[in-house]
Structure 1
């Protein structure tokens, strides 16, 4: 080998050694970065977002609160993450948010004790109380003082459908296992005597109330049944969209917090007290602001009487509205329902 060839080979060897050192250094740096990231990431499973762990050294099992997407899931989680952090601090235990796909999932997770609590719409809240013995605690009051909602049956402003009777043979967008998007609409169809007839409306299921509004406005369905609060929010976000209301239902509690039957009375009382007193605590008020809420109010089972009235209204057509299992039964210690309340579960003065 000539001196020149030897020099070139030696230079190549040096270059390869430098490349090897750089690669190994990079890999080590990446490994360290990953380990640091893992060390600062709270453990969570699919669909679970951890809140802050309250109190150093707390070893209690996490309190898992279920959420069903009703709006943009990221915005919704941001609002409730603030509440999870606040509860975690006050309870001195971890609080986790669990995102559930459907209202049926909420019932299954409560039954299987995969979650301890959930913010639930009124119909699924009644199902949870009836089937699972869940306990209702509090409901949020919005900045404008609203703590209830009702179902709305609506069409596009330029629709030829002018009255409820014009829904014969038309398509209606609905949301499964909801008061506004399913039970209310089923009650209206029952009053129109359209179940099991050639003119029965075609039900088109959507994932959320917002989806139904978009389907109606864009011509995907002839009419929609949704929660009035979501309809109003969507219309504010899209001032160019024009709709017309055909009927509205009776007010019911909005997204109350229910705890599963196995949660101890002591813990239930603590959670209820913390939430009710948030409005009197500076940090609590900051959290409420993030949640777009004014305060939490007590919520009682009797506030759901309108749900039982609607269920009684559609008893004979229960299978037609697509809810699995038998309808919920009115508590035996409640007074008998007023026949007029059962027969008249919506207002058409529009």
Structure 2
């Protein structure tokens, strides 16, 4: 018979937690078979029935401990990151979080940067990733295409856990309305971003622009929110779109930029970056990952990691949080189910 895993392989650093779990199993077995019952079976004529009971006991034990063994067999977690910003800065933010999770889970957590937003579905499947920190729109894509499960997202330092999309121009551009945008250059982040593309397309459609190819002289994608802001700031584009968190971070670093840029439109709030994981991960492991994230702010080491990450804490996330993104995509004429 297999031995119960030790506390390290169960993802718990507390041996008592495993002892308590093992005790609960023993209690369950005792409920099915008392010593008197077994004695009476073996010393009577119903030996065959007693053997059936023992077979049932073995299956009962295997069923109870199988989640623990599934957890212990998971040797590594591969988590993907969407390229929101400079990838070196992004890795600097996420590495301490990965190390913290590794220590708490007893499983190595490895990070990988996806080359671009649009690759997320193919890369997630082909590289057999266990989860990813998705932007709002890519989270929707992954929920539909990969059946992933959103479990947690960070609460930002300003107390928000959502993000808005901004459409912005230079103040000296003379652009005040959609009419002024005719034959101008537009810069987006990526087609698979809610705040850096989907919202902007929805805004254009609501204001009568359904064909961006003919209305604008040019449009292109920068691949990151920061780059989209700087493209407009440096006169490489006339109109830009990006997420509010990235826009504000640039302003905070250089307040003078606020005098050079003007926000023309703001989207409704959508969930900020969210950790989504494979639905078929062992249930015990999924629960443990969520518990570790949600309790980081109660742990001194966790608080330091959160500070480096740029968050106050993690909060629970669910599929219902993403309804505004589906609504935004509908306004933009985008069918998430049909996206390849």
- Please indicate, yes or no, whether the TM-score normalized by the shorter chain is above 0.5: yes
Deviation for aligned residue 1:263: 1.8
Q: CA deviation at 1:145?
A: 0.7
> Secondary structure in 2 aligned to 1:240?
helix
Quote the Cα distance in structure 1 between the aligned partners of 2:246 and 2:121.
22
Tell me, yes or no, if structure 1 residue 281 matches structure 2 residue 293. Answer: no
Task: Summarize the Cα distance change of 1:172–1:115 in structure 2 as closer, same or farther, 3 Å threshold.
Answer: same
Once structures 1 and 2 are overlaid, which stretch shifts more, 82-91 or 66-75?
Answer: 66-75
Task: For structure 1, list consecutive stretches of 5 or more residues without a partner in the other structure.
Answer: 1-53, 329-350
2:338 maps to: 326
In the other structure, the counterpart of 2:98 is 84
What does residue 224 of structure 1 align with? 240
3-state DSSP of counterpart to 1:118: strand
Partners of 1:114 and 1:159 lie apart in 2 by: 47
* Residue of 253, 257, 277 corresponding to 1:259: 277
The answer for the alignment partner of 1:130 in structure 2 is 144
Kept in 1, the 8 Å contact 2:202–2:332? The answer is: yes
| CA-CA distance at 1:194 after TM superposition | 1.6
CA shift for structure 1 position 226? 0.4
Q: Give 1:95 shift.
A: 0.8
Where do 1:128-277 residues align within 5 Å? 128-176=142-190, 177-196=192-211, 199-201=214-216, 202-241=218-257, 242-277=260-295
> How many angstroms does 1:186 deviate by?
0.8
Aligned pairs, how many? Answer: 268
Written as runs of structure 1 = structure 2, the 5 A alignment for 1:41-60 is: 60=74
* Contact 2:199-2:332 within 8 A present in 1 as well: no
**TM-score, with normalisation over the residues of structure 2?**
0.74
Q: Per the alignment, in what secondary structure is the counterpart of residue 257 of structure 1?
A: strand
CA shift, 1:60, in A, is 4.0
TM-score (norm 1): 0.72
In the alignment, does 2:307 pair up with 1:292? no
C-alpha distance in 2 between matches for 1:214 and 1:187: 23
- Structure 1: how far apart are the matches of 2:274 and 2:150? 7
Kept in 2, the 8 Å contact 1:173–1:215? The answer is yes
Q: Deviations over 1:153-181 (max 9, x none)?
A: 00001111012332222221001110011
Work out which structure has the larger RCO, using CA pairs closer than 8 Å and 6 or more positions apart in sequence.
2
Residue 305 in 1 paired to residue 323 in 2? yes
Query: How far, CA to CA, are the matches of 1:299 and 1:128 in structure 2?
Result: 15
Distance in 1 between residues matched to 2:134 and 2:211, nearest whole Å: 31
**Contact 2:297 2:313 (C-alpha < 8 Å) held by counterparts:** yes
8 Å CA contact retained: 1:149, 1:228? yes
Task: List runs of 5+ in structure 2 lacking aligned partners.
Answer: 1-11, 14-71
**Contact preservation (8 Å) 1:169, 1:198:** no
Higher helix fraction: Structure 1 or Structure 2? Answer: 2
Give the deviation of 1:327 after TM superposition.
Answer: 5.0
**Residue deviations 1:52-98, cap 9 Å, x none?**
xx99xx87421011112222322221221111111111111111011
Which aligned pairs between 1:48-127 and structure 2 lie closer than 5 A?
A: 60-127=74-141
